[in-house]
Amino acid sequence: MAPASASSARPGVDSAGRGSRQDDLIIEAAWLYFHDGLNQNEIAKRLDVSRASVVNYLAEARRRDYVRITLDSDVFRNNRLASELRAKFGLVDALVVPEDGSSQQRSAERVIRAASDWLPHLLEPGDHLGIAWGETIYRLAQIAPKLMMDDLTIVQLLGSKPSEIGFAAENCAATLAQRFSAYCANLHVPLMLSTAELCEQLKAEPMVAAQLKMVTDCKKVIFAAGTTDPDSHIAMTGLLDAPTLEQMRKDGAAAAICGRVIDFEGTPMPAPNEDRLIGVTLEQMRAKEMGILVSAGLDRVGAAAAAIRGDYVTHFITCSASAEKLLEDTL
């Protein structure tokens, strides 16, 4: 485990350009703890403050992104479960973090953190990275390390669909672009139009056509596979109504990728709104050079399996409990 200072955040300064005493203490405490290896009691004596103050300084240093703790991604790529996932599903690579037995939510947080740490290692100068939407992807973007990624473009893969639960596609793309100091290529259109005719007309607009070409041409994508349950993202955003989703589940719907539905084998299942959507298609997703799937939660295992079977995934991040379930023959 090693600290990494990867933030562009700066302490406050007064009119004369001097930092505050508290900022100085926060920075000094972080240096003594993470670089010099002093414990909290030793730091308290060195700085002539209470141990409680040191605890607060270290917490504030993390909150401000002065310090980021990471584990080498290779630790999680080289374990038994990752190797078995690669062998069984023909994946290019897989990363499996230990399950947190105390909470499924904490296990999901581990997966998202591991994915955010691994992602920069999968990118190269000149890359165009397509980014999907949803809570998992938005949380990943929020906690991604602050880096200066050379010549990187973040591409919004689907149009905007405002909803009360947030996590809109443009927010996911803009947040990750900011964290990586990358150019953000937004897709400035609604995700769903009222008619197929209007949808085709809008896609033909020169500006929109140019943005959609970037969606088509980007070679790497990162996404999550959602469920088609009544509380799924596509249901909560109103992309598909409850009766339609219920019928599609009866017909074999197993997952949603970028707002589009696939069955148990990963075969596309066109929904009634298919000709009114603007965004990456399943055919385009399958053709990408690198498809990075982040599967955070046991409730997403079936959806992840469908995405993997459908050849949308080359790189996969999940937890040990989900990996064990995926390796069973019952899915």
pLDDT at 7: 40
Q: Are residues 223 and 100 in the same domain?
A: yes
Model confidence, pTM: 0.84
pLDDT at 17: 43
Q: What is the CATH number of the domain that holds 43?
A: 1.10.10.10
| Region of poorest pLDDT, from 14-28, 124-138, 245-259 | 14-28
For residue 40, how many other CB atoms are within 10 A of its CB? 17
Average pLDDT (16-28) is: 76
Q: Are residues 295 and 264 in the same domain?
A: yes
Residue recorded with tokens 């103050």: 53
Q: Are residues 105 and 24 in the same domain?
A: no
* Of residues 265, 266, 223, 274, the one with CA closest to residue 244: 274
Tens digit of pLDDT for each residue in 286-297? 999 999 999 988
Q: How confident is the model at residue 20 (pLDDT cuts 50, 70, 90)?
A: confident
pLDDT at 34: 85
Residue 179 has pLDDT above 60, yes or no: yes
Domain boundary, last residue among 13, 48, 69: 69
Provide the domain limits for residue 193.
73-327
Q: Are residues 322 and 252 in the same domain?
A: yes
Backbone angles phi, psi at 197, to 5 degrees: -65, -45
Residue 113 has pLDDT above 80, yes or no: yes
Mean pLDDT over the full length of the chain = 90
Domain boundary, last residue among 38, 69, 100: 69
Tens digit of pLDDT for each residue in 214-227? 999 999 999 999 99
For residue 65, how many other CB atoms are within 10 A of its CB? 16
Q: Are residues 119 and 219 in the same domain?
A: yes
Total structural domains within the chain: 2
Q: What is the CATH number of the domain that holds 204?
A: 3.40.50.1360
pLDDT at 65: 79
For residues 89, 90, 95, 97, the Cα torsion angle rounded to the nearest 10 degrees is 20
| Region of poorest pLDDT, from 84-88, 100-104, 183-187, 280-284 | 100-104
| Region of poorest pLDDT, from 76-80, 81-85, 198-202, 301-305 | 76-80
Q: How confident is the model at residue 163 (pLDDT cuts 50, 70, 90)?
A: low
Residue 138 and residue 171 in contact, taking contact as beta carbons nearer than 8 Å: yes
Q: Regarding predicted confidence, which is higher, 331 or 125?
A: 125
pLDDT at 11: 52
Domain boundary, last residue among 69, 95, 123: 69
Average pLDDT (121-136) is: 96
Residue 6 has pLDDT above 50, yes or no: no
Q: Are residues 217 and 323 in the same domain?
A: yes
Q: Are residues 93 and 175 in the same domain?
A: yes
Q: Are residues 269 and 286 in the same domain?
A: yes
pLDDT at 331: 60
Q: How confident is the model at residue 19 (pLDDT cuts 50, 70, 90)?
A: low
Q: Are residues 234 and 312 in the same domain?
A: yes
| Cβ neighbours for 154, distance < 8 A, ≥ 6 positions apart | 129, 131, 173, 176, 177, 180, 182, 183, 184, 185
Q: Are residues 166 and 48 in the same domain?
A: no
pLDDT at 103: 83
Q: Are residues 49 and 83 in the same domain?
A: no
Q: How confident is the model at residue 165 (pLDDT cuts 50, 70, 90)?
A: low
**Mutual angle of helices 80-89 and 320-327, in 10-degree steps:** 40
Q: Are residues 80 and 53 in the same domain?
A: no
